[in-house]
Structure 1
Amino acid sequence: MQKLVVLTGAGVSAESGIRTFRDSNGLWENHDIMEVASPEGWRKNRELVQDFYNQRRRQARDCQPNEAHLALARLEDHFDVQIITQNVDDLHERAGSSHVLHLHGELTKAQSSVDPGLVYELDHWEIKVGDKCEKGSQLRPFIVWFGEAVPMMVPAMRIAQQADIFLVLGTSLQVYPAASLIDYVPRAAKKFLIDPQIPDFQLGTDVYCIQEKASTGMKVLEKILLSSPTE
């Protein structure tokens, strides 16, 4: 079975109603992004940061997977599908995808503010000031903020190196280090990109571009993939 590796971005979640800060000139829900997505913002105003992610968590809870999410889950019947996502929601999992690696963290988890190795599943949408880890420190969102290392990049690189087919979906490859994953894909692999904004830098002639939103583009790609012989 061929290995289909998919890098997904904000355009996939946007179709389910989850907004991104890039939609509004660097503001995320009327907040400067550095106020709510940086270690400096956390040190300056923990209550603001907690409330911001509590609202994101509550919003995501009320959103549903869209056709792009569902199409990726269906493709597991035909391919060994591994999703690498820049998104922090759980819509891929809720759509039925079995193998999802989150590069930038997960809204549905909390993390110790003194020990990054202490991560906890949440069964509710709210982390309150005063909620502490087993070491007695305040729980923080399990999110990779600006200025922090991306610990899942190394596993993601290894997955990209194994791809027979590599798909970039709902991202125009402008966010690093995630955008660099396409550089690790084997030269012989088939490469596809689906996004309304095709990058203005040279992708290479071996990348098949579908200039559509994620759900529409996935309909096109499903036909292409399922009409091609697979192992």
Structure 2
Amino acid sequence: MSSDKIVILTGAGISAESGLGTFRDEGGLWAQHRIEDVATPEGFHRNPDLVHAFYNARRAQAAEAEPNAAHHALARLEREHPGEVLVVTQNVDGLHEKAGSRNVLHMHGFLAGALCASCDHRWPAPLEMSKSDTCPACGHAATRPDIVWFGEMPYYMDEIWSHLASADTFVAIGTSGEVYPAAAFVQEADRGGAHTIELNLAPSSRVSDFAETCFGPASQIVPEWVAQELSR
């Protein structure tokens, strides 16, 4: 069995079958709000009540969601693969951890986290947050969700670039390939000599950058790929 290092990028598509919609789903939470109003620092400054209500709803939805077969397959890969397996996720739902994955970097933050906009202290978020919540470290009423909003720098980027440069295999699962810097990950991994794979419901905007592709529901194609990988 190969002991190669595998770096996996996951996007909203891997959680869609767990009932958590993508940005583009009609009728979902995102369809009811403008991104500028609920996913930017400026939107939070204008109307913190709206932003907290939006993320309280997302947090409650994620708390009730269960991992699907794709999440469980990646957790199995981490347990059974003799080399390193790292999941870099754009998702904030925590379903990778619920499935048992431990080596996970949340580049866009985490619904279960709270952040002080005044002193940058972080702590576990209650199920419901409000603008009157005070920071346990500095006491200021500057609590916000620990989520990377549009216009902000994703977390762990130096670490992620380093992992991409040393990966033997890079896999993108359920991501559109339209949002940077994640859209550039496949090219960075390719420059480092990694074999690149896209597993998606449909081809992403970066599909031509991948050496190998497979399309279909994540709950079907991800377990199949993991079984194949573990049999090598």
Whether TM exceeds 0.5 here: the answer is: yes
Q: How far apart in 2 are the matches of 1:151 and 1:69? A: 21
Q: Aligned pair in 2 of structure 1 residues 131, 169: CA closer, same or farther (>3 Å)?
A: same
The answer to whether the Cα contact below 8 Å between 2:166 and 2:192 also exists between their aligned partners in 1 is no
The answer to whether the Cα contact below 8 Å between 2:177 and 2:205 also exists between their aligned partners in 1 is no
User: In the alignment, what sits opposite 1:31?
Assistant: 33
1:41 to 40, 43, 47: 43
User: In the alignment, what sits opposite 2:198?
Assistant: 193
**Residue 7, structure 1, aligned to residue 17, structure 2:** no
Q: How far apart in 2 are the matches of 1:100 and 1:28? A: 25
Q: CA deviation at 1:200?
A: 4.6
My pick for the range that moved more, 73-82 or 105-114, is 73-82
Gaps of 5+ in 1: none
Q: CA deviation at 1:210?
A: 0.3
The answer to whether the Cα contact below 8 Å between 2:52 and 2:130 also exists between their aligned partners in 1 is yes
**Residue 131, structure 1, aligned to residue 133, structure 2:** yes
Secondary structure of the residue aligned to 1:194 is: strand
My pick for the range that moved more, 60-69 or 175-184, is 175-184
The answer to whether the Cα contact below 8 Å between 1:26 and 1:33 also exists between their aligned partners in 2 is no
Counterpart mapping for 1:1-231 below 5 A: 1-24=3-26, 28-76=30-78, 77-78=80-81, 79-116=83-120, 118-122=121-125, 124-133=126-135, 134-135=137-138, 136-185=140-189, 186-201=191-206, 203-204=208-209, 207-228=211-232
* TM-score (norm: length of structure 2): 0.90
Secondary structure of the residue aligned to 1:174 is: coil
Q: How far apart in 2 are the matches of 1:151 and 1:11? A: 20
Question: Aligned letter for 1:19?
Answer: G
Q: How far apart in 2 are the matches of 1:227 and 1:202? A: 26
Q: Count how many residue pairs are aligned between Structure 1 and Structure 2.
A: 225
The answer to whether the Cα contact below 8 Å between 1:26 and 1:32 also exists between their aligned partners in 2 is no
My pick for the range that moved more, 24-33 or 84-93, is 24-33
My pick for the range that moved more, 132-141 or 95-104, is 132-141
My pick for the range that moved more, 10-19 or 177-186, is 177-186
CA deviation profile, 1:39-65 (whole Å, cap 9, x unmatched): 111011000000110110001000001
Secondary structure of the residue aligned to 1:191 is: strand
Q: Aligned pair in 2 of structure 1 residues 200, 38: CA closer, same or farther (>3 Å)?
A: closer
Q: How far apart in 2 are the matches of 1:30 and 1:223? A: 39
Question: Aligned letter for 1:119?
Answer: R
My pick for the range that moved more, 175-184 or 101-110, is 175-184
Identity %: 42
Q: CA deviation at 1:161?
A: 1.3
Q: CA deviation at 1:26?
A: 10
Q: How far apart in 2 are the matches of 1:22 and 1:115? A: 34
Q: Aligned pair in 2 of structure 1 residues 207, 105: CA closer, same or farther (>3 Å)?
A: same
CA deviation profile, 1:123-144 (whole Å, cap 9, x unmatched): x311122111122132100001
* TM-score (norm: length of structure 1): 0.91
Secondary structure of the residue aligned to 1:128 is: coil
Q: How far apart in 2 are the matches of 1:143 and 1:59? A: 16
